[in-house]
Structure 1
Amino acid sequence: MRKAIPFLLTIGVVASLAACSPADSTTAENSGDCTPTASGSASEAVQVSGDFGVKPEVTIDFPTDVSETERSVAIAGDGDIVAVEAATANVQFSLYSGATGEELSSTTYDETGLTPFPVDAEQFLVGIVKTIECSTAGTRVVGVIPPEESFADDASREQLGVGADDDIVFVVDVVSVDEPAEPALPRADGEDQPAEEGFPAVELDDDGRPTITIPDTDPPTELEVAVLKQGAGETIQENSDVVVHYVGMNWTTGEIFDESWARGTPSTFNTGQVVQGFKTALEGQQVGSQIIAVLPPSEGYGEAGSEGAGISGTDTIVFVVDILGIG
């Protein structure tokens, strides 16, 4: 659903930076059963200067060439640890090309740029999860990530200017850590609503897992949302953290391209991090509801599509979502 994370953010330039040297990454923040990804020569060679929480100055010994993600600590923090699967790290970050050393994207390094990352390799790029997990709040970490553990589709790489064989370098400040939200419900428990004409049919198995049947008609050209079960819980506000079960299907092919039910655990994410149509469909709904959303390309992955998910630039996609809780 969201492997192409929202990297294309406004770049915030911070004028005052204090020089510092990368910390010894052997002082990794091991805690309990959490063992951080190992450092290596490539991550150790990345020079990072600047105070925590402000945009760093970064010099990369390019081109980098790693076979698996390497992680080094530039500034060691002593806050809460990102040790629980699906815990959320609230971060500021800068992204660079390992091939050229050039900056590709950055957050604003102010309150508007604080970005939540659930530590879940099913939702986010594996290399980014490896970089963030086991970090503590107050830590600045450097990840050098190979192509195999970064972007799965050419569209995301092209959008950022990353070659198919290029590493990426991720410098991230872990500002705070939120424990994973406990779903209030195992499945949507709202009151059944009458089926609306023109939508795909939805049937549920005994556990609540949906099966979607696409009608033999052309898809709508605008975003369409219908409530299948009306919940009575808390209302999702703009840019809320939510806990959901969902199925995503390609209207054109009838193939499921993403599904939390198959993984056995709900997904937790911020509505500001998903494609626009999915965000619009969720916000304003209540916990306990089940909804169906039909997204034309303009509300989904756009003309670029998502090659890794088998979605072309002309494909309409369908989501059936059980809203289980708000983080």
Structure 2
Amino acid sequence: MRKRPLIVLSTVAAATLLLAGCAGSPAPESSTTPEPESACALDAKAGATSDAVVVDGEGADAKVTVPADAPFADVERTVIGEGDGDEVTVGDLVSVRYQIVDAASGTVLDSSARGEDGLLPILMDTNQSSLFVAALECNPVGSQIVLALPSSVLGEGASNIVVYAEAVEELPTVATGEPVEPTPGMPKVKLDDDGAPTITIPDGDAPAETKVALLKEGDGPVVGAGDLVVVQYLGVKWSDGKEFDSSWSREATPTQFQTSGVVTGFRVALEGQKVGSQVIVTMPPKDGYGASAGHELEKESLVFVVDILATTAAPQ
């Protein structure tokens, strides 16, 4: 599925990638996709700086004030309002209200205001969404959090920043759209009780061109070109029906990437579809790994079933 690897980044050091809305990095290889963890990845504690931040109001409209003499000695996190939902953990998909603020100037570097109803979907992924993992993990849904990050953990030339964030709702990790009548000639798909698919390859020749069909039709936002998407997926080879990649085989943990960072057939399957949809795509080698000389799938036609869980427009 993926064309380019992502360098594995620590929970906090990746924060600079997320100042543009958590959508600036290429798709990870399967080995870097996070698996759910019982323990907190960072579990930052409250301190003098995070305790001193003043938040007036709520969500993207809140006014976040950082004292000029705040020490920013360490990564600190203060819960200013405790929610009553389930605890947020690595691997969860949640809708989030947030602001990321430059501590010195008070400038809002990014916020969820650009999302529908002031919310953006965030996958709790320690590789690509580490800023939000650091802020929200191990607290109940509905909690309001202040996270203070000193420039020393953000890289050369960075400023101290403060994140104000709230996980508003846990989002589904399977497609929730209405089932659609199967398309003749496409592989058959069966779902187990948890929503995990199995694919049966039909008799006949492998596809000469990429074909996409709906299995479920959602009613959420439409995936645009270059969007950051969150999906569950299963990929098998047309030649023998054997699985070669699957989020379902990694503790059923969703994965995220930009549509520009995957093979052509997978991109075509996603762009233009609605969140909540489940699609099946068949593709010849030219739209898969045919251009990757020496790749184990270079000569294989591929089949993917994909649950589209969330989409966020790429930053301008």
Q: Structure 1 pair 213/234, CA: closer, same or farther in 2 (3 Å)?
A: same
**Unpaired stretches in structure 1, ≥5 consecutive residues:** 8-34, 37-79, 92-110, 142-172
Give me the whole-angstrom Cα distance separating, in 1, the residues matched to 2:288 and 2:6: 13
Question: Any conservation in 2 of the 1:81–1:136 contact (CA below 8 Å)?
Answer: no
**Unpaired stretches in structure 2, ≥5 consecutive residues:** 34-125, 132-150
In structure 2, the partner of 1:323 is 308
Q: Structure 1 pair 133/6, CA: closer, same or farther in 2 (3 Å)?
A: closer
SS at 1:323's partner residue? Answer: strand
Question: Any conservation in 1 of the 2:13–2:155 contact (CA below 8 Å)?
Answer: no
Give me the whole-angstrom Cα distance separating, in 1, the residues matched to 2:246 and 2:204: 24
Give me the whole-angstrom Cα distance separating, in 2, the residues matched to 1:254 and 1:305: 22
Post-superposition shift, 1:277? 1.3
Post-superposition shift, 1:282? 0.1
Alpha-carbon displacement from aligned partner over 1:17-63 (angstroms, at most 9, x marks no partner) = xxxxxxxxxxxxxxxxxx96xxxxxxxxxxxxxxxxxxxxxxxxxxx
* Among candidates 268, 279, 284, match of residue 280 of structure 1: 268
Post-superposition shift, 1:269? 0.9
In structure 2, the partner of 1:20 is none
Q: What is the one-letter code of the residue matched to 2:2?
A: R
Q: Structure 1 pair 230/298, CA: closer, same or farther in 2 (3 Å)?
A: same
Alpha-carbon displacement from aligned partner over 1:278-316 (angstroms, at most 9, x marks no partner) = 111101100110000111111111143663xx41x3210
Give me the whole-angstrom Cα distance separating, in 1, the residues matched to 2:152 and 2:209: 43
| Higher RCO by CA contacts (8 Å cutoff, separation 6 or greater) | 2
Give me the whole-angstrom Cα distance separating, in 1, the residues matched to 2:27 and 2:250: 15
In structure 2, the partner of 1:116 is 25
Question: Any conservation in 2 of the 1:89–1:117 contact (CA below 8 Å)?
Answer: no
Give me the whole-angstrom Cα distance separating, in 1, the residues matched to 2:261 and 2:268: 12
Q: What is the one-letter code of the residue matched to 1:326?
A: T
Superposition map of 1:1-327 within 5 A: 1-2=1-2, 4-5=4-5, 81-82=12-13, 89=17, 115-117=24-26, 122-123=31-32, 139=155, 184-264=171-251, 265-304=253-292, 307=295, 310-311=296-297, 313-327=298-312
Q: Structure 1 pair 88/3, CA: closer, same or farther in 2 (3 Å)?
A: farther
Runs of 4+ in 1 over 4 A off after TM superposition: 117-121, 132-138
Post-superposition shift, 1:138? 5.1
Give me the whole-angstrom Cα distance separating, in 2, the residues matched to 1:258 and 1:226: 20
TM-score when normalising by structure 1: 0.50
Give me the whole-angstrom Cα distance separating, in 2, the residues matched to 1:88 and 1:194: 44
Please provide the CA RMSD for this pair.
Answer: 4.2
Post-superposition shift, 1:254? 1.6
Q: Structure 1 pair 229/121, CA: closer, same or farther in 2 (3 Å)?
A: closer
Give me the whole-angstrom Cα distance separating, in 2, the residues matched to 1:267 and 1:205: 20
Post-superposition shift, 1:121? 6.2
Give me the whole-angstrom Cα distance separating, in 2, the residues matched to 1:88 and 1:284: 29
Give me the whole-angstrom Cα distance separating, in 2, the residues matched to 1:288 and 1:296: 26
Post-superposition shift, 1:89? 2.8
Identity %: 41
For these two proteins, the number of residue pairs brought into alignment is 194
